[in-house]
Chain A
């Protein structure tokens, strides 16, 4: 029904749009919005790895991307708790 490459190009577009949204998107002065915007690129990368049949890399990537966003959110909340400028 679909060509295989459509997932690949979809992944490329999502990665580029996600990185643009992370750098210049609206409301990125709030670090939490910025962290959530990186998830768009993560989904794009997952699609690319899926096209390339990198099963182990995809599994590890899903696990680490969740873990990285948890670490970043924790760092942001702790910095806010201290009261530093974000």
Chain B
């Protein structure tokens, strides 16, 4: 068998059932897509096909599988978001009606939204920077999101939103430089590891902050 030694025995024995499950689930999902002609139903069934992809990739059982699942998940999320927006705007154009971005206005009158955010987001951002990498970026981004959503101020200047985007781009460059350095000269592995980790931290955190600034305009709508 063409399996590296470091793959545990149990994952090798689970490989075939996992692959068959993935194929069965994908087949069922595709049959459903073929039968249904309604757009929103097809969109829901695409989710099932995406799950089949996850099983097939995850069945490899090494770190490579984990590294491939993460972008797969993000791409699936972006795809479903984009297609649902397209569906809604097409229906709006057909019917000539306009709907709000969210079905109900979200107004939370909770004391914790005014007193706690400073402290909580400070802890979250600090812990995220300590973790670095993807997880740290998600934690720090959660802190930024909490802070942005719970503050009263609205209507940020466009320069700030562009600036967040620019930070994300620069962090992406850091990540690529770190990756390249790792292959060109692997003696600097610690430097390139930290470049990649901090780049990814900045990127994920600023992306989540960007989502927060865009979402907040809708969040406190009366």
A binds B: yes
Q: Interface residues, chain A, CB within 8 Å of chain B? A: 4-5, 8-9, 12, 15-16, 19-20, 22-24, 31, 34-35, 38, 41-42, 45, 48-49, 51-52, 54, 56-57, 59-61, 64, 67-68, 71-72, 74-79, 81-86
Among residues of B, the one whose C-beta sits closest to the C-beta of A4 is B10
Stretch at the interface among B50-58, B152-160, B175-183, B193-201: B50-58
The answer to whether B17 and A79 touch across the interface, beta carbons within 8 angstroms, is no
Q: Given A12-B18, A54-B65, A61-B54, is A75 in contact with B48 using a C-beta cutoff of 8 Å?
A: no
Distance in angstroms from A4 CB to nearest chain B CB is 7
B32 at the interface (CB under 8 A from A): yes
Contacts of B52 in A (CB 8 A): 19
How many Å lie between the Cα of A48 and that of B69 in the bound state? 13
Picked from B14, B17, B103, the residue with its CB within 8 Å of the CB of A78 is B103
B166 at the interface (CB under 8 A from A): no
Picked from B35, B44, B54, B59, the residue with its CB within 8 Å of the CB of A31 is B44
Q: Given A52-B61, A68-B47, is A82 in contact with B99 using a C-beta cutoff of 8 Å?
A: yes
How many Å lie between the Cα of A82 and that of B91 in the bound state? 7
Q: Interface residues, chain B, CB within 8 Å of chain A? A: 10-11, 14, 17-18, 21, 24-25, 28-29, 31-32, 35, 38, 40-41, 43-45, 47-48, 51-52, 54-55, 58-59, 61, 65-66, 69-70, 73-74, 76-77, 80-81, 84, 87-88, 91-92, 94-95, 97, 99, 102-103, 134-135
How many Å lie between the Cα of A60 and that of B138 in the bound state? 10
Picked from A5, A15, A61, A78, the residue with its CB within 8 Å of the CB of B99 is A78
How many Å lie between the Cα of A59 and that of B99 in the bound state? 33
Picked from A5, A20, A34, A38, the residue with its CB within 8 Å of the CB of B28 is A20
The answer to whether B134 and A56 touch across the interface, beta carbons within 8 angstroms, is yes
Interface of B is mostly: helix
The answer to whether B92 and A82 touch across the interface, beta carbons within 8 angstroms, is yes
The answer to whether B69 and A57 touch across the interface, beta carbons within 8 angstroms, is yes
Contacts of A78 in B (CB 8 A): 88, 99, 103
A-B contact pairs, 15 of them (CB 8 A): A15-B25, A23-B28, A23-B31, A24-B32, A38-B51, A52-B58, A54-B69, A57-B69, A61-B69, A64-B73, A68-B47, A68-B80, A75-B40, A75-B87, A82-B97
The answer to whether A34 and B25 touch across the interface, beta carbons within 8 angstroms, is no
Q: Given A61-B54, A64-B77, A84-B95, is A56 in contact with B41 using a C-beta cutoff of 8 Å?
A: no
The answer to whether A45 and B44 touch across the interface, beta carbons within 8 angstroms, is no
Distance in angstroms from A32 CB to nearest chain B CB is 10
How many Å lie between the Cα of A35 and that of B44 in the bound state? 6
